[in-house]
Structure 1
């Protein structure tokens, strides 16, 4: 499958986590900075409790505030003040890490080029709105690049539900037949987008373990490679 030429593209929908930024490493770094070992039994149990209560597909099943509340409860150290102190410190460390990463990746140069080409860009992401807005503030505080961000918390469903993609497309009227979907997950990002008529592109910039031999989608090792299409 070959993507359409970038010169024909009117819009691009981007996944956020592990597509635009390496969120996975950011989460780990921020947790360690606030004194939480990401692979500790108490923290893993706190995540398991939240996910089992809400279900893995619930938008808030990824909410670190809920994880931290359970983590403190398990340790018999929960207080409102302590929970909010940890959350505020975590958010600060995470956004600092992501801002530094964005700069080191040279993303501003890439997205300035896409803006110059008048390509409409939207971020489509699972997770809660506050967490994702903090990341967006770190990478595009004034909204120079992305005209909208659509989160699963707002839509009420997570990717790969079609409602997510339809919500993103509503912000990009007239671009459906000339629109790319760029993400790191074939199941949640690309397959549903393709069914809705978007051209899917798989990025493995932060996930080199992806089995490229079996993918049916065009692949980029770095986002800058989309300029070569």
Structure 2
């Protein structure tokens, strides 16, 4: 596996230009290498939403029951997306159901937007994952609740948000050997393939304005009326 070069964690990112320079510092010498990016307003804890409150809780039966309810009660909304539980997890994730999926993007600028637009005070973080060794190309033929390891999932492009956000996912397993979901930054096989970039608190709003000039905003990332209204609220606040 090609090793990611380290970046000084004390070197805070203060602008969009500086962020792009840091991304280019990653080892892209292998043109076939696929990097994924995740932005968030808290440090680490790279766990899916279903596991963040209590990683020791085995939620497998709860998740299965929720998907069954989704098929029964929400069948009019599924529109052919219920071919597999993997497809259902992807769809449910984008509409707020807590799942064992963690969102990533193949576009680093989109990850930067999510990092800077969060509600938490303080610095923000973008994580870069060299994903090649963890991509499971046969994942749609498998039971997502019986995976032998946490894997990278490339979703089908059948959802407007996935397309707009260049979405990918990590699909996390409950590790029976450890009796917990293991955060990616603590996963012995994955953590060496992750790079953390720190975005200075004082620069987040200026970075959002820079991203907007290049078409990265809530209107383009959430291509619906809700996304547009959030964008108009933000523009009104920042006039």
Give the TM-score normalised by the residue count of structure 2.
0.28
Q: Which structure is higher in helix share?
A: 1
Give the TM-score normalised by the residue count of structure 1.
0.29
